[in-house]
Chain A
Amino acid sequence: MAKRQYSFYPGCSSQKGASSSNYLISVQTMCEELEVQLNEIPDWNCCAASIGYAGGGELPRLTLSARNLALSEQHNPGQDVVATCAACWLSTREAQERLHEDQSLLAEANTALAEAGLKLTKEMPIKHMAEVLIEDIGYAELGAKVKRPLAGIKIAGYVGCQTNRPFGIAGESFENPKYLDQLVETLGGDSIPDYEKKVQCCGGALAFSEPEKSQEMVKGIIEAAYDHGADLIVTPCPVCQMNVEVYQDQINQTYGTQFKMPVVYYSTLMAVAYGRSAKDAALNGQVIPAKKLEAIAGK
């Protein structure tokens, strides 16, 4: 019997064969170890992320999230909603706030939902998985599960934007959040609390439409990690992970750098530290291999 259960919104990029499918695998492993049961919202849809605004006006965008929340309430009643993707979490939580504040929008959203026999009634808390770990479970319990400490690995905690602003983790500051550093220490690794690029934007969706502008920012994020002697970067966001990991060859070409910095999820670190295999930690999902983690997972 699981200790905790949540209504789970995995999001498009976590699906099989999608860009953060490795994230979902490591999250599932992590949740097994922490006895957290994730009840997927049946038939969830895309949240429109933060780039859906050109085509999607206010009501259609809010309605996307309203449909997910209505399905969650119907199938997983009384459960907090949890998302692993920063954009999914943010869009859903923003939609809930906006619909709460504007009753006419809520009425219109419900008129639209009625077309599929759905209705939004209750308001459950909407959490990022990082909130579940830090606020619901806590460092002590997270640390107690460690079987293979990440000893001797120096890890830059790259929090990024949307897991941090505008909502963030309780008690953390927007300018210098410390929970990722504390999590790294909890897992036996060496954190870099003064990593100055921890909340620098990677460009988000503009990595696709404005690659030069985005890669200039990503360069700074990686460079600062090297300056601090980091072996790898850890992040809670799928867009951060992809943008910082996969363009390193192009950045090297543009700037003459020699970057080869692995970028992993917090759940990757936890799966390894909790003694699970490289496969369960989805280390095979790295475009730039995280060799130091592979060595620990292979023990």
Chain B
Amino acid sequence: MGDLNTAMIEKYRNRFLKEVEANVEEGEWVKMCMQCGVCSGSCPLGKFWEHPPQEIFMMIRAGKRDEVLSSESVWMCTSCYNCIVRCPRELPITHIMHGLAHYAKRLGLVPKNQPTAKFAQMFWDNLMVKGRVNELKLGLNLYFMNGIGDGVKVALKNQKIGLGMLKSKRMNPLEAVGGHAVKDLKGFHAVLKKAQELEDKRLADHGA
């Protein structure tokens, strides 16, 4: 991934907006932002963003590549779509944030231990195994994502929630072995492998 990052820096030099337009999902919309700030004021986690969306858009145009791509901010999106429906220019802000976060991950620029980046990757890896999410394994991986010691603490803190879910039959310990899956797993994996190849090819072509 470091190589891809270097290739992109070489290729785009100081033209970060161009890089975003070419490589980030829905990135071609960034230039449409008119800096009104409605997105920043509408975000439920607004107060936790070091750089709220409006600022991120201006920073992209100002060429602040490292500051944007290694920012915790792009991982603060809850996907509530408040910004999307309120943006007077109708920018797909939610998707741009997801796109920036994904691009940062592809380039290996995510801040260490960013919890949402870790959880989001776990979710994807989990569903790719059997085509459907295994909630039990996802939950256990989440508890232990910062190591065993921390994991035991988190697990104990959430013990009561686990028991409640178990009692109401909304959690099944048997998911630890086997679990729900698509039947045509071979076909599923072949389809997703091809999609990933095509996606990688496009990004590699842009970096070349």
Contacts and interface: CB of A to CB of B under 8 A. Distances in A.
Nearest to B186: A116
A203 B198 CA distance: 33
Given A63-B192, A204-B78, A213 B125 contact: no
Given A54-B120, A285-B168, A67 B78 contact: no
Interface string A32-45: 00000000000111
Given A165-B84, A206-B78, A249-B161, A285 B170 contact: yes
A45 B81 contact: no
A201 B44 contact: yes
Nearest to B118: A209
A286 B168 contact: yes
Main secondary structure on A side of the interface with B: loop
Interface in A17-53: 17-22, 43-46, 48-53
Contact of B169 (A17, A43, A111): A17
A201 B164 contact: no
Contacts of B25: 57-58
A49 B115 CA distance: 17
A112 B191 contact: yes
B164 A246 contact: yes
Contacts of B124: 48, 52, 54-56
B78 A17 contact: no
B1 interface: no
Contact of A115 (B48, B193, B199): B193
Contacts of A200: 44
B81 A51 contact: no
A112 B198 contact: yes
Contact of A64 (B123, B192, B193): B192
A60 B105 contact: no
A96 interface: no
B137 to A, nearest CB: 12
Contact of B190 (A58, A108, A115, A174): A115
A210 B81 contact: no
Interface stretch (A8-16, A145-153, A222-230): A8-16
Main secondary structure on B side of the interface with A: helix
Nearest to A199: B82
Interface residues of B, number: 66
A206 B77 CA distance: 8
Contacts of A201: 44, 78, 80, 82
Contacts of A116: 184, 187-188, 190-191
Interface stretch (B2-10, B29-37, B55-63, B128-136): B128-136
B116 A52 contact: no
Contacts of B125: 55
Interface residues of A, number: 65
B197 to A, nearest CB: 8
Contact of B82 (A43, A114, A165): A165
B153 interface: no
30 contacts: A17-B170, A43-B183, A45-B188, A46-B127, A50-B79, A52-B127, A57-B203, A58-B99, A58-B199, A59-B199, A108-B195, A111-B194, A112-B198, A113-B191, A114-B194, A115-B194, A117-B187, A118-B191, A165-B84, A165-B85, A201-B44, A201-B78, A201-B82, A203-B78, A209-B115, A210-B115, A210-B116, A287-B164, A287-B165, A287-B170
Interface of B: 25, 44-45, 48, 76, 78-82, 84-86, 98-99, 101-102, 105-106, 115-121, 123-125, 127-128, 131-133, 135, 142, 157, 160-161, 164-165, 167-172, 174-175, 180, 182-184, 187-188, 190-196, 198-199, 202-203
